[in-house]
A = this chain, B = another copy of it.
Amino acid sequence: MTNVVSFDQQPWHKKTAALDALSALVADDVVAVNQLIVQRMESRVAIIPRLAGHIIAAGGKRLRPILTLAAAQLCGYQGQRHLKLASCVEFIHTATLLHDDVVDDSDMRRGGPSANALFGNEASVLVGDFLFSRAFELMVEDGSIDVLRILSHASAVIAEGEVLQLATTNDSTTSEQAYLEVVRAKTAELFAAACRIGAVVAGRPSSEEEALRTFGLNLGIAFQIVDDVLDYSAAQERLGKTVGDDFREGKVTLPVILAIHRGTEAERGFWKRTLDDHEQEPSDLAHAQDLIRRHNALEDAIARAQHYGAIARDALGLFPAHPVKQALLDIVDFTVEREF
- The interface stretch among A10-18, A26-34, A153-161 is A153-161
Q: Which residues of B contact A125 (CB under 8 A)?
A: 99, 102-103, 125
CA distance A295 to B43 in the complex (A): 36
- The interface stretch among A137-145, A258-266, A314-322 is A137-145
Q: How many copies does the complex hold?
A: 2
A45 within 8 A of B: yes
CA distance A128 to B149 in the complex (A): 19
One of B121, B130, B139 near A159 (C-beta < 8 A): B130
Encoded as 1 (CB less than 8 Å from any B CB) or 0, chain A from 43 to 67 comes to: 1110110000000000000000000
Q: Which residues of B contact A136 (CB under 8 A)?
A: 136, 148, 152, 155-156
CA distance A128 to B48 in the complex (A): 20
CA distance A156 to B143 in the complex (A): 17
**How far does the Cβ of A47 sit from chain B's closest Cβ, in whole Å?**
6
A164 within 8 A of B: yes
A140–B145 CB distance below 8 A: yes
A339 within 8 A of B: no
Encoded as 1 (CB less than 8 Å from any B CB) or 0, chain A from 95 to 112 comes to: 110010011000000000
Encoded as 1 (CB less than 8 Å from any B CB) or 0, chain A from 155 to 171 comes to: 11011101110110000
Q: Which residues of B contact A163 (CB under 8 A)?
A: 43, 45, 47-48, 123, 126-127, 130
A176 within 8 A of B: no
Query: A96, A120, A134 — which one has the most chain B CB atoms within 10 A of its CB?
Result: A134
Q: Which residues of B contact A160 (CB under 8 A)?
A: 43-45, 48, 130
Interface range on chain A (Cβ under 8 Å from partner): 35 or more
CA distance A121 to B108 in the complex (A): 19
A129 within 8 A of B: yes
CA distance A120 to B136 in the complex (A): 27
Q: Which residues of B contact A122 (CB under 8 A)?
A: 102-103, 166
**How far does the Cβ of A161 sit from chain B's closest Cβ, in whole Å?**
8
A133 within 8 A of B: yes
B130–A132 CB distance below 8 A: no
Q: Which residues of B contact A140 (CB under 8 A)?
A: 145, 148-149, 152
B153–A137 CB distance below 8 A: yes
Chain A interface residues (CB < 8 Å from chain B): 43-45, 47-48, 95-96, 99, 102-103, 120-123, 125-130, 132-134, 136-137, 139-140, 143, 145, 148-149, 152-153, 155-156, 158-160, 162-164, 166-167
Known: A130-B159, A130-B160, A132-B155. 18 other contacts (CB 8 A): A43-B160, A45-B163, A48-B163, A95-B129, A99-B129, A102-B122, A128-B129, A133-B152, A133-B153, A133-B155, A133-B158, A133-B159, A136-B152, A137-B149, A137-B152, A140-B148, A140-B149, A148-B148
